[in-house]
Amino acid sequence: MSTTLLQSIEAAEHALTEAQVHFGHGTDNAWDEAVFLVLGASGLALETNQEQLQTVLTNTQLSAVSQWLSQRINQRVPLPYLLGETWFAGIPFAVSEAVIIPRSPMAELIAEHFSPSLKQAPQKALDLCCGSGCIGIAMALHMEIPQVDMVDIEPAALTLSQRNIDIHGLGESVSVYDSNLFAGLEPAQYDLIVSNPPYVDAKDYHDMPAEFAHEPKLALVSGDDGLDLTALMLSQAADWLTDQGLIVIEVGNSEVALQAALPEVPFLWLELSQGGNGIFCLTAAQCKQYQGRFSAWQASR
């Protein structure tokens, strides 16, 4: 008996719903997940019309769909890892289990050019803990920043970032470096420093759905309160910002712990209309003003 593309998608949707898989790595519902899974496994274009939905799948395609569905349900492998690709800020990126899957609400801020917090168009920007390179590359494309530097410490992430740079033809404006935050960089000053660092605290990591176990723990967890890397960044940021520069850091649910640790610091928590929380910014002047406090906090950890 033949099986059409639509029938395969409907069956996958039912299986995903029954299995109660976690959504949030590119989709937020079983239907969309099923569509992308079946099309990806079948080697078909992601854009389909009603006529194509009646296409009869081959046995080879059906076998591939079955294998992907098994990995998605039984092993809880996030769909973008099966696809080898995901989208961020309207841009496709290659992904692998060497990096977390791009999903930061930072995409909304990039589309808005970090307005109104960023007062002038940046000429030089830095993406710390770049992973796949999605934030730095999205800034280069959406904001047309002449120079974007990106850093990470994971060799496979650096390779993937370079691959994404090449995919988007940004070799002349975007560079990636092997560096533990600022440590491996030549002295420089940036108009904009952005980071989506590891920020999950120990308790939240323990409670996360099984899908997150496929992502590198190094890219998710940062100490008991989720703020180890943020503390280090803040203690050094003033030295790397231009006078009118801005630093933007995502800390997610660790926002509460950060405000409790540094109640005197006037963090500006950015509004996100498309969902998400826990992204703050500080000006270069504020980083200088509180650098001593940041350094003391970092040293005490």
pLDDT at 51 over 90: no
pLDDT of residue 243: 97
| pLDDT tens sequence across 10-19 | 999 999 999 9
Report the alpha-carbon distance of residue 73 to residue 76 in Å, rounded.
Answer: 5
Of 170, 189, 186, nearest in space to 178 by CA:
186
When pLDDT is averaged across residues 278-288 and rounded to a whole number, the result is: 98
**Segment among 67-81, 103-117, 162-176, 200-214 with least mean pLDDT:** 200-214
pLDDT digits (tens, 9 = 90+) for 17-40: 999 999 999 899 999 999 999 999
Dist. CA 70–CA 68, nearest whole Å: 5
pTM beyond cutoff 0.75:
yes
Secondary structure of 264-283 in HEC code, one letter for each residue: CCCCEECCCCCCCCCEEEEE
Name the band, by pLDDT with cuts 50, 70 and 90, for residue 276: confident
Q: What is the mean pLDDT of residues 98-120?
A: 95
CB atoms within 10 A of CB 219: 20
Mean pLDDT to the nearest integer, 151-156: 96
pLDDT at residue 46 tops 80: no
Polymer length of the chain: 301
Q: How many CB atoms lie within 10 A of CB 269?
A: 14
Reported as a single tens digit per residue, the pLDDT across 190-234 is 999 999 999 998 888 989 999 999 999 989 999 889 999 999 999
Predicted local confidence at residue 29, as pLDDT: 96
Say if residue 296's pLDDT is above 90: yes
Q: What is the third-level CATH fold of 98-299?
A: Rossmann fold (3.40.50)
pLDDT of residue 169: 98
Confidence of residue 9 (pLDDT cuts 50, 70, 90): very high
Cα–Cα distances (Å) from 118 to 114, 136, 147, 191, 269, in that order, read: 6, 16, 17, 9, 14
Share the mean pLDDT of the chain: 96
Domain ranges (residues) in the chain: 5-83, 98-299
